[in-house]
Chain A
Amino acid sequence: MSETYEKPQPVIDPGTKPFWDAAREHRLLLPRCRSCGEHHFYPRELCPHCYSDDLEWVDASGDGEVYSYTIARKPAGPTFAADVPYVIAMIKLDEGPRMLTNIITSDVESVRIGARVKVSFDDVTPELTLPKFKLESE
């Protein structure tokens, strides 16, 4: 945990506050539609699958697999410079939705599409926790 976290932080709004609040408690929360049963991410007011407004928040398993990834060789701005190379990945959660995140690994070259991953919460400030992922094999 760093007191001087310089990287971009989410500007949390009423529609996304439950997700970020849960992350602080190390829970991965997803909206689920009571009408069609599908989960989605990021959180919306209407289900993007069937457009119902009958939604609930549910705890996700935190398990998924790598759908795609890139190794950033150049940083997204100076605040990420010290992290290069780092992995940005799109995870297909076992509940269905895809989610952009980082994979925390000691070997960026070992990441592969299809690899199983598990959520790993990174408390970057006392107020903000980012749900990142780790390879199950690691």
Chain B
Amino acid sequence: MAREAVIVGVGDVPLEGGKVVGGGSVLQVQARAAKAALDDARLSMRDVDGLLVAGLWGVPGPGQLPSVTLGEYLGIHPRFADSTNIGGSAFEAHVAHAAMAIEKGYCDVALISYGSMQKSERSRTLGGRPSILTMQFENVWGIPQPVGGYALAAQRHMHEFGTTEEQLAEIAVATRKWASMNPAATMRDPLTIDDVMNSTRIADPLKLLDCCLVTDGAGAIVMTTAENARAHGSKPIHIRGYGEAHTHWSIGAMPDLARLTAAEMASKRAFEMAGISHDAIDLVECYDSFTITVMMTLEALGFCKPGEGGAFVSGQRTAPGGAFPLNTNGGGLSYCHPGMYGIFLLVEAVRQLRGEAGARQVADVATALVHGTGGTLSSGSTVILANN
């Protein structure tokens, strides 16, 4: 019988005010998240024979070979490793890669890990990227990264489609409403469209409240075979489809600034693999580095046509009680954003599919779509998950 890869465990670490409770090194917090996910899966670290990791820690130095360093720290000897780093969407790609490895029999239990202590360590240094290779044509102009690239996309989207700043603000407001129901969320106070519109201008047309947070965070996902899940009595989440793509890193090389080509490519493949239509999706968790990211992603995923994202999110349609539940943990905009947020999209989708999301639980979630975006609208990876 063919092996089927499933997700059997998710874990994270407690956050308060955007910092990991109790602190710790970036390796300590990943170990804690991994243990939580393995406990959730009713598996042990000694079962892990596949390790997938992406992060921005320990560079230059031990983080240059992150799976090798983390494997050593955890005391395991993986026979399958994947350090694919395509930005914040890496973890959705890791789910796909782990599924292929497990179904091929290349490993039996895969651990996907992410950690960042950027807020506690005040280590965020995106302004300091050296002007080498492709970057020599980017940062000499003083483009604040990554917000500047997203601002260029937002401006072009507004020009081509008549999208308004108020429509972008709808996304920040709706996401904050979800965060108010998540005790771990960094920002939980109510927000209005006016609050967003009047927040500090950063890079026109984006303002402070269009931008994600800067926090700590750690998360982990455990995958194994459906057969192994049954044997351990853990509750499997099925992977119905996946896809990934990347198109550029320099914002100057993005194929079309008003369209998220990577998400179009990734999601098309995921839907084809799943063999389902958009109507079958009960819940979407998508990367929200900036409000414009969400709008362009919804269009690229095909939930609305190109240019219709503004109308789609208007009237708080993505808020609790709205027609289109989205980013139900409060997202990168209000829950947490440790630098590469994508793993938390998966953690939240699994909790919603299991009915474990507490006050923010969406009713009758059977199928969820998770989409990560990385770099400067550079990469996209989609995973379609189901609980039956």
Residues of A with Cβ closer than 8 Å to B? 7-13, 16, 41-42, 67-77, 79-80, 83, 86, 88, 90, 98-102, 113-114, 130
Q: Does B131 contact A (CB under 8 A)?
A: yes
By a CB distance below 8 angstroms, the chain B residues around A86 are 142
Residues of B with Cβ closer than 8 Å to A? 127-128, 130-134, 136-145, 148, 151-153, 155-156, 159, 200-206, 250-252, 257
| Contact status A16-B136, CB under 8 Å | yes
In the bound complex, what is the Cα–Cα distance between A99 and B252 (angstroms)? 6
| Contact status B139-A76, CB under 8 Å | yes
Known A7-B142, A69-B152, A76-B139; further 18 A-B contacts with Cβ < 8 A: A11-B133, A42-B134, A67-B257, A68-B159, A69-B155, A70-B155, A72-B143, A72-B203, A73-B200, A74-B200, A77-B127, A88-B141, A88-B142, A88-B148, A98-B252, A100-B137, A101-B141, A113-B155
Contact of A42 (CB < 8 Å), options: B142, B203, B205, B252? B252
In the bound complex, what is the Cα–Cα distance between A10 and B130 (angstroms)? 8
Task: Give the shortest distance, in Å, between B350 (CB) and chain A (any CB).
Answer: 37
| Contact status A11-B132, CB under 8 Å | yes
Q: Do A90 and B130 form a contact, CB below 8 Å, given A42-B137, A67-B156, A100-B137?
A: no
> Lowest 7 CB-CB distances: which A-B pairs, in order?
A10-B136, A70-B151, A80-B142, A77-B127, A68-B156, A73-B201, A76-B144
Residue ID in chain A nearest B138 by CB atoms:
A100
By a CB distance below 8 angstroms, the chain A residues around B138 are 100
| Contact status A73-B202, CB under 8 Å | yes
By a CB distance below 8 angstroms, the chain A residues around B200 are 73-74
In the bound complex, what is the Cα–Cα distance between A134 and B81 (angstroms)? 50
| Contact status A76-B156, CB under 8 Å | no
By a CB distance below 8 angstroms, the chain A residues around B153 are 68
| Contact status B202-A74, CB under 8 Å | yes
Residue from B132, B133, B143 whose CB has the most chain A CB atoms within 10 Å: B143
In the bound complex, what is the Cα–Cα distance between A12 and B141 (angstroms)? 15
